[in-house]
Amino acid sequence: MSVHDFIRERFFPHMWCAGCGHGTILNGLIRAVDELGIRKRNLVMVTGIGCSARISGYVDFHSLHTIHGRALAFATGVKLSRPELHVIVPMGDGDGLSIGGNHFIHAARRNINLTALIMNNRTYGMTGGQFSPLSGLGIKASTAPYDNIDNSFDVVELAKAAGATFVARTTTFHVNQLSDLIKAAIQHKGFSVVEIFTQCPTYFGRKNKLGDAPQMLQTFKERTVPVGSPKKQEDPSLIERGIFVNIERPEYCDEYQKLLERTQEA
């Protein structure tokens, strides 16, 4: 099957800017779903609000475009009522970690079998390039013209600490790893998080003089290393990508089913 069998072609060309990495994530996600051989009718995509959230409109799966930051809450409802469906929840950095920060940590704590993708472009692109909880120190944004003084979250550490049982990170430059990690995340039983660095040349790139989309991708290539690479010891500012956590713990829907069976027997 080709990519075109999984998208709603009538909405193309999509609304993302030229060079926006979100399209590359859509591309990688579709390849992952294709390679896994999951039927479209067994897939649900739930998104919140933002540039990233528009992804649910472009895929030909069951899709829910919900309210800002609450995609995981809606997804939890879908999964609990229909545990046999695969539920994928792509979120932006602001949508997922700021507005939806609480939903994120609690979905991780419950270890509910959802696939959360954090499309991290380090800014609120749709509303004009405000800084987000993942922008980081010293970053320029429309709301931080003289440098951002907020520390950023580390999504991997946050997800680990909150109890996610699969945590990975990659970038839109590493397209083979991108689809492989999404595949592994979908197959994992439990709450899985994949953080994907994606470029916003329109706001984040322009405000911080990072060049055009190809230059921003080059930066992803140069500033990231595979997990456990010796280069990380030499230069601690490099960011690791790969799988950080992959463990088994009781899953929420299973536990709920067991509880139902036990109480109905009594």
Partner 1 sequence: MAKKKLKQHVINRNWCKGCGICVSVCPKKVLELDELDKALAARPEACITCKLCEKICPDLAIIVETEEVDEEAKPHE
Query: Per rule CB under 8 A, is residue 119 in the interface with partner 1?
Result: no
Q: Where are the beta strands (DSSP E) in 99-235?
A: 115-120, 123-124, 130-131, 166-171, 192-197, 224-226
Q: How many residues bind partner 1 (CB under 8 A)?
A: 31
Residues 151-190 that bind partner 1 (CB under 8 A): 172-173, 175-176, 179
Q: How far is the CB of 200 from partner 1 (least distance, A)?
A: 12
Run of H or E residues at 33: helix 22-36
Query: Per rule CB under 8 A, is residue 12 in the interface with partner 1?
Result: yes
DSSP 199-252: --IIIIIHHTT--SHHHHHHHHHHHEEETT-THHHH-TTSEEEEEEEE-----H
**Toward partner 1, which CB reaches closer, 18 or 161?**
18
Q: How far is the CB of 55 from partner 1 (least distance, A)?
A: 12
The CA distance from 86 to 92, in Å, is 20
Angle separating helix axes 175-187 and 22-36, nearest 10 degrees? 50
**Toward partner 1, which CB reaches closer, 4 or 249?**
4
Residues 202-221 that bind partner 1 (CB under 8 A): 212-214, 217-218
Query: Per rule CB under 8 A, is residue 56 in the interface with partner 1?
Result: no
Q: How far is the CB of 4 from partner 1 (least distance, A)?
A: 8
Query: Per rule CB under 8 A, is residue 27 in the interface with partner 1?
Result: yes
Closest by CA to 92, choosing from 133, 62, 142, 147, is: 133
Lay out the site mask for partner 1 across 28-47 (x = CB under 8 A, - = otherwise): x--x----------------
Contact between 203 and 126 under an 8 Å Cβ cutoff? The reply is no
**Toward partner 1, which CB reaches closer, 34 or 150?**
34
Query: Per rule CB under 8 A, is residue 18 in the interface with partner 1?
Result: yes
Contact between 5 and 61 under an 8 Å Cβ cutoff? The reply is no
- What is the binding site for partner 1 (CB under 8 A)? 2-4, 7, 12-14, 16-24, 26-28, 31, 172-173, 175-176, 179, 201, 212-214, 217-218
